[in-house]
Amino acid sequence: MSATTLPLIINGKETTTSTTFDVVSPSTGETVWKCSSASKKDAIDAVEAAAAAFPPWSKSKPTYRRAIILRAADLLEKKASEFHEAMAKETGSAHPFCKFNTDNATEMLRDVAGRIVSALGGEMPVCQQEGTNALVFKEPYGVVLGIAPWNAPYVLGLRSFLYALAAGNTVIFKGSELSPRCFYLLGNIFTEAGLPAGVLNVLYHRTQDAAEVTSALIEHSAVKKINFTGSTATGRIIATNAGKNLKPVLLELGGKASSIVCADADIGKAAKECTLGAFLHSGQICMSTERILVHASILKPFREALQSTISAIFPAKEPAVLVQSASVNKNRRLIEDALSKGASVVHGDHRKEESSKTRMAPVVIEGVKEGMDLFHTESFGPSVSLISFETEEEAVKLANDTEYGLSGAVFTENLGTGLRIAKQIESGAVHINSMSVHDEPNLPHGGVKNSGFGRFNSRWGLEEFLRTKTVTFQD
């Protein structure tokens, strides 16, 4: 691979294109390298390679696939520092979040490797019709298109193709143009681990080519299923196109997670977890806490604890990096709108000019309510709303008053209370006494409402990429 120009990976070969784009580090504003940009032709070449590789790969033994996945896990672990460096340069992530990504991705690989043999078997149901027997097979779809975002490139990138590969599908993996080296590194360890040519093809492209390339991939007759992780707005476009072509799609989209702090909560613990949930990775996580709902009786001590915890963990003198200046501007606009309608800032200064236009320190806004853009709009940045409630019913209503439903949290010293509230929250996951940001390989992950549908991870992730076939036979 060229030191300065990243290649695509098509049919097991590194492909450098004549059309390239610059990859700019949000931390420094400097171009760190150039990247090959896939054209419509490159996309079709990748699909054709995946289609040709499907018959032998789908017939391969689970133990053979397991061995490749385990070798990839070892390589990821061995090359972790290289992965960390690429992610820090491309996304501005701090080292702890880079390490979380590689650690979680490594565990994901080994978790899938441990499940692959037992997860792919079928069933033999008892038929009601005399003399009739039946077999129910699980079989891969064929070519799968996986599309991943930049914000957690190793976790979200890996899961967009790992479960499909393990289930016997071949994959076109299309990654965000903001973190292409991260995605190249993922593809590269699978090549080095012995994955046959064409089974995994890695693409990225210029922003202006997104519609043409993505449409060509979705509409290609060989592509049988699509999974997409990203914004709800883009997810709607992907789902619409997939629907027109009658292709199933798995979507993990945006979020507006609420953390409910009950009157009996451990205030110190709740403040710490809400701080982490709101401001980890500058709030650029789909599961980030966007609303902290606090019982009115403890609002003052909780506010003080939250302010203290934020200052200790995310000090204003060290403002975090966001991936683009547009993200900073969006958060500022949402905060200004809320202030113009009666809200107030109780921590931070969103108007402060930092050392670069991609930096912003945490901001807490109190008095956010219906009618303010911040109440409903996903900020995807370092701002969080602090809202008081009087009753459990009010808290549940506030938490559910959103188009999203990906994650949430409840803080209480009574497990019964926590479970009762969790059951009422319209969300793919609710975490009792821990932050809303929680994702591990052995738990299903996905949303409801406009946060998407379908599930990644564990056996649920494998089942997403297997279809069932019934075969009957007579005695």
DSSP 296: G
Cβ contacts of 423 within 8 Å, gap of 6 or more: none
Residue at 290: amino acid letter: E
Cβ contacts of 468 within 8 Å, gap of 6 or more: 122, 136, 137, 138, 139
Catalytic site residue from 90, 252, 290, 366: 252
- 286 part of the active site: yes
In 60-209, where does DSSP find H-type helix? 62-78, 80-91, 95-119, 153-166, 180-192
**What distance in Å separates the CA atoms of residue 124 and residue 134, rounded to the nearest whole number?**
6
Helix or strand or coil: residue 31?
Answer: strand
**What distance in Å separates the CA atoms of residue 422 and residue 195, rounded to the nearest whole number?**
42
Catalytic site residue from 262, 274, 286, 290: 286
CA 118 from centroid of its chain's CA atoms: 26
258, 290 in Cβ contact below 8 A? yes
Closest alpha carbon to 202 in 162, 173, 164, 179: 173
Q: Burial letters for 180-219: b for 16+ Cβ neighbours within 10 Å, e otherwise?
A: bbbbbbbbbbbbebebbebbbbbbbbbeebeeebbbbbbe
> CA 251 → CA 96, 230, 359, distances in Å?
27, 8, 30
> CA 57 → CA 53, 141, 167, 197, distances in Å?
6, 12, 10, 10
Residue at 90: amino acid letter: E
- 252 part of the active site: yes
Q: Burial letters for 43-74: b for 16+ Cβ neighbours within 10 Å, e otherwise?
A: bebbbbbbbbbbeebbeeebeebbebbbbbbe
Q: Are strands 257-261 and 289-295 parallel, antiparallel or unpaired?
A: parallel
**What distance in Å separates the CA atoms of residue 259 and residue 272, rounded to the nearest whole number?**
12
For the annotated catalytic residues, the residue numbers are 252, 286
